[in-house]
């Protein structure tokens, strides 16, 4: 393998959505290949036709493309992002299966599902690890079944599978890049099925053949595949092939250290996309679930190019990684703070247009959809939103008239003379020469000081009337962005609708 061009692969099954763990596997394969100047390939392992979900393959590819993980080879028809499909390679697997049969490393098995289940239950009652009892192992391979019986069953057309014969009393060893040396005893290894009764290969068989034929140098996958390693290594040995290097990634865990599952929250990448998380934040977050740059490095925000430059499998840990949604939320905020205004506007304008098509708006539509106005809103709200869509949904008062006023805030902030104060302050706002944040602040302070009042006596009511809520950015800057006409209209309307406490 020395001197070979590095080649990695992500090989999902089309059985549903892309799990965040799957995205991490794809990302680490991508980063390692790019770091080493190699190739990143996608292969769809669709040999289990019973679990295949309509549309799953397209969704997997769409999500990977969204994340920026575009493969280097696209052999399938119908687009530039087509993967290898195992279902199109059945003749290849059949040929290698015949080779194993001829070499005495595989055999026909006609056991029924009822027989297999009965055998499994019996072994479990005896406290044994369930394994196939080798009833159909031929006499020529050390078993008890006469070859004539196997021939008879084949001629009758009885359904069968083909099993690999695991050698007795051997040790299977390999060096994992992340975990170091790992050894297995063949006594714990079952005679796995290689070819199913429907003529399709099992994952284990097809995967090993394809990994060799496609010349992958490194197999980077989740630690749940560790128990399958001895089966795979034995197949490499049977065929006389040099195995690739292996790296098994740590599990993803919930905060309570249980295995990450849908029972405790979202696990599909698509769910996080739909909630508004950006590609940059998700990819950055996923990269840090198991990998770190090393001691002394405090950087946590990485671009994809930076991840490629600094990633290494040696810095991936063995211990399970905690999936902390707070960290993802923090990263999303960091990206929003640094993202160019033009990029944010590109995202939020379609959201705003959709909202405007269904809601009444007294503001000038051309003005509030303009780059100039949206830039003011973005710069004012950057520190306060968690998602880009919140520039519209969380800050709707910049685009729509308040339909109600926060009830608890009104009870807390309104006094008997609040409306009177507002009525007296209205002419000040109407005639203010400089309707800017500084001008409004100076005018408000000049208005309340002679009356012996605190600025808060007007600040809170003005915020509630102008926005409908008691929280938000600097009041003075908010009023400047809304503009004099909208502010005066909202104050007057609110004063008519809000009852003064008795």
Q: Which residues are catalytic?
A: 262
Task: Convert 406-434 into a string of H (helix), E (strand) and C (coil).
Answer: CHHHHHHHCCCCHHHHHHHHHHHHHHCCC
345 vs 372: CA distance, rounded Å: 10
- Dihedral of CA atoms 324, 325, 330, 331 in degrees, nearest 10, equals 80
Phi-psi group of 208: left, alpha or beta (phi > 0 → left; psi -120 to 50 → alpha; rest → beta): alpha
> Which DSSP helix (H) or strand (E) runs through 5?
none
3-state helix, strand, coil in the chain (%, to 5): 50, 10, 40
Alpha-carbon distances of 26 from 128, 262, 429, rounded to whole Å: 37, 20, 58
From the list 228, 129, 222, the residue with the least C-alpha distance to 174 is 228
Q: Is the CB of residue 131 less than 8 Å from the CB of residue 191?
A: yes
355 vs 349: CA distance, rounded Å: 10
From the list 377, 360, 380, the residue with the least C-alpha distance to 369 is 377
Q: Is the CB of residue 248 less than 8 Å from the CB of residue 25?
A: no
- 374-381 LR contacts (CB < 8 Å, sep 24+): 374/341, 374/345, 374/348, 374/349, 375/341, 375/345, 376/481, 377/481, 378/341, 378/344, 378/345, 378/348, 379/341, 380/473, 380/474, 380/477, 380/478, 380/481, 381/473
Q: DSSP for 448-459, please give it.
A: HGGGT--THHHH
Give the N- to C-terminal CA distance of the chain in Å, as an integer: 86
């Amino acid at each position: 393998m020395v001197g070979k061009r590095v080649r990695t692969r992500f090989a999902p099954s089309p059985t549903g959505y892309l799990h965040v763990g799957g995205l991490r596997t794809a990302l680490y394969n991508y980063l390692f290949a790019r770091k080493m100047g190699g190739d990143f390939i996608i292969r769809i392992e669709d040999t289990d036709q019973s679990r295949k979900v309509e549309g799953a393959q397209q969704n997997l590819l769409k999500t990977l493309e969204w994340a920026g993980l575009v493969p280097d080879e696209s052999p399938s028809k119908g687009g530039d992002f087509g993967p290898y499909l195992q279902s199109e390679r059945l003749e290849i697997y059949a040929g290698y299966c015949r080779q194993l049969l001829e070499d005495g490393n595989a055999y026909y098995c006609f056991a029924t599902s009822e027989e297999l289940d009965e055998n499994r239950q019996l072994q479990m009652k005896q406290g044994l690890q369930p394994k196939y009892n080798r009833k159909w192992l031929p006499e020529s391979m050390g078993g008890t079944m006469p070859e004539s019986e196997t021939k008879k069953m084949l001629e009758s057309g009885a359904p069968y599978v083909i099993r690999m014969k695991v050698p007795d009393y051997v040790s299977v060893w390999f060096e994992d890049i992340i975990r170091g040396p790992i050894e297995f005893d063949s006594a714990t290894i079952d005679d796995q099925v290689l070819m199913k009764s429907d003529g399709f290969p099992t994952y284990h068989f097809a995967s090993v053949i394809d990994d060799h034929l496609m010349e992958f140098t490194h197999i980077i996958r989740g630690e749940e595949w560790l128990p399958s390693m001895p089966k795979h290594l034995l197949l490499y040995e049977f065929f006389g092939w040099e195995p690739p290097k292996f790296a098994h990634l740590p599990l993803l865990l919930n905060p309570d250290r249980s295995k990450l599952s849908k029972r405790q929250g979202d696990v599909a990448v698509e769910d996080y996309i739909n909630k508004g998380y950006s590609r940059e934040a998700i990819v950055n977050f996923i990269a840090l679930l198991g990998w770190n740059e090393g001691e002394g490095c405090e950087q946590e925000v990485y671009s994809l190019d930076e991840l490629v430059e600094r990633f290494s499998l040696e810095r991936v840990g063995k211990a399970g990684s905690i999936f902390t949604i707070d960290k993802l939320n923090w990263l999303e905020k960091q990206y929003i703070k640094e993202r160019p205004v033009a990029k944010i506007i590109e995202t939020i304008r379609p959201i705003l247009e959709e909202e405007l098509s269904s809601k009444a708006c007294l503001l000038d539509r051309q003005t509030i959809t303009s780059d100039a106005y949206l830039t003011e809103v973005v710069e004012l709200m950057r520190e306060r939103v968690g998602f880009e869509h919140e520039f519209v949904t969380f800050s709707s008062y910049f685009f729509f008239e308040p339909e109600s006023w926060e009830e608890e805030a009104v009870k807390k902030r309104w006094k008997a003379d609040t409306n009177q104060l507002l009525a007296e302050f209205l002419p000040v706002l109407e005639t203010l020469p400089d309707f800017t944040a500084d001008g409004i602040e100076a005018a408000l302070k000049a208005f309340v000081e002679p009356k012996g009042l605190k600025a808060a006596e007007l600040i809170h009511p003005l915020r509630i009337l102008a926005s409908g809520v008691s929280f938000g950015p600097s009041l003075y800057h908010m009023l400047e962005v809304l503009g004099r006409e909208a502010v005066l209209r909202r104050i007057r309307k609110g004063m008519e609708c809000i009852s003064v406490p008795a």
